[in-house]
Amino acid sequence: MGGCTWSECEKMGAVLPNVSITQELSFLLQVLESHLKLLIMVDLRSILAFYKDEEEANGTGFDVPLHLDSAPAMGSLPVGVRLTLKVQISSLLLLSLFCLCTGHICIPQWLHILVAQWLHILVADGLAVLTQGREALKSYLACEEEEEEEEEEEEEEEEEEEEEEEEEEEEERTLKMSCENMQK
């Protein structure tokens, strides 16, 4: 990430076309802000607990070597690995923002790739969370339906038992009445 001028960087294709420095800074700040909000919103304890179980089961650590060309497989990675990658990418974005503020105005191509990589991970995590939430809701509704069905079955059984008892009582009454009539 050298200190080339803005026009030189444009000629090299290292910056987005028709984008000013202020817009680039604003873009980076928006990405960092959204990423921080995501990290705050996510329950880190459950994620780390989940990854700890994965680590104990698979013997893997946090320093998992991954390359940019492995982006399509990000959705299959453990949540802890994706979280670690997002933190690392955010650190690189902060470093790039620092270089921008100190006079290195060029946004290199690799930073655009990192942003795309981060967005890919973010989307994969979002889809995973939505899928888990939908599955949890389905299972909850299924449990509710099962409980309602069980309650209905129990009520029907109780009603049947009550009807049988009433029928038996009626039969006993008719028998008593017939016996009394016979005795008379």
Give the model confidence (pLDDT) of 53-90 as tens digits: 545 555 443 333 333 333 334 444 455 555 555 665 66
The pLDDT assigned to 16 comes to 43
pTM over 0.85, yes/no: no
Show me where the domains of the chain are located.
6-138
State how far the Cα of 76 lies from the Cα of 87, in Å rounded to an integer. Answer: 18
State how far the Cα of 87 lies from the Cα of 92, in Å rounded to an integer. Answer: 9
Taking CB atoms within 8 Å and a gap of at least 24, the contacts of 54-57 are: 54/78, 54/80, 55/80
- Yes or no: say if 145 and 151 are a contact pair by the CB < 8 Å rule: no
Q: Of how many residues is the chain composed?
A: 184
Percent of the chain with pLDDT strictly greater than 70: 27
* 143: phi then psi, degrees, rounded to nearest 5: -60, -40
Phi-psi region of 104 (alpha: psi -120 to 50; beta: other; left: phi over 0): beta
Give the model confidence (pLDDT) of 84-130 as tens digits: 556 656 666 666 666 556 555 455 555 566 666 666 666 666 666 66
